[in-house]
Amino acid sequence: MTVAIYKRVLLKLSGEALMGEDKYGINQAVMRRIVLEIEEISKLGVEVAVVVGGGNIFRGMKSANDALERVTADYMGMLATVMNALALQDAMKVIGLMPRIQSALRIDQVVEPYVRARAIQYLIDKKIVIFAAGTGNPFFTTDTAAALRGMEMNVDIMLKATKVDGIYTSDPKVNPDATRFHKLSFDEAIAKNLQVMDATALTLCRDQKMLLNVFSIFKAGALKRIIVGEDEGTIVTV
């Protein structure tokens, strides 16, 4: 029998993951594949919370310019994550999962606000909680939101889904000799500036001793393999 080694997890899905090979927006076929992967681990009894990014629609830092303040751009970025969360919610409903979105910014007609106790109850009830709008603050990223919500939800591990199957010594697309780390410490990841996540998110994880696994969401079955304790991607520990 396949047994999950984690009871509760936080999955960080970047906006890019939802884009697939497209240049912008949401690729429905990719979205469907991702929700099926989530269903696989949910079936094992794992409680799943998701933080979704917004980079496939809008990125604050890149978009700020003379006519658009950084803070405004960041709010736009956070709203982009709400759009992704809505799409993710519908894709989950189609396959029979029970998603609930909670937003760090209040848009009450559209999604409910973040309430920690309610989110935890949803997880206990085996609903998938999708956290939208990042931390609700400009100058942060959804990686930091993922670390934060993961800690608030007392998850056993944060799973960062990327396009690459783990953390490499350098960018494997640029350097064919780059090798993958199976295991790494937060201090090493920060010191080597390995572009895993931003330093705020990494430091938060390190200080709270939150386990992190970086893996490719495009590799079929990878998410489930992590959940059952197989060596997949890169694991980052204190």
Whole-angstrom distance, CA of residue 112 vs CA of residue 207: 30
Binding to ligand UDP by CB under 6 A, coded x per residue (else -) over 6-25, reads --------xxx---------
Of 7 and 62, the one with the shorter C-beta distance to ligand UDP is 62
Q: What angle do CA 137, 143, 147 make, to 5 degrees?
A: 90
Whole-angstrom distance, CA of residue 230 vs CA of residue 14: 23
Q: Which of 167, 154, 160, 168 is nearest to 210 (CA)?
A: 154
How many chain residues bind ligand UDP (CB under 6 A)?
24
Site for ligand UDP, residues 129 to 158, rule: CB under 6 A: 134-135, 137-138, 140-143, 145
Q: Is 99 in the site for ligand UDP (CB under 6 A)?
A: no
Please provide the distance, in angstroms rounded to a whole number, between the alpha carbons at the two ends of the chain. Answer: 31
Of 4 and 13, the one with the shorter C-beta distance to ligand UDP is 13
Amino acid at 134: G
From the CB of 186, what's the least distance to ligand UDP, in Å?
19
Sites of contact with ligand UDP (CB under 6 A): 14-16, 53-55, 59-61, 73-74, 77-78, 80-81, 134-135, 137-138, 140-143, 145
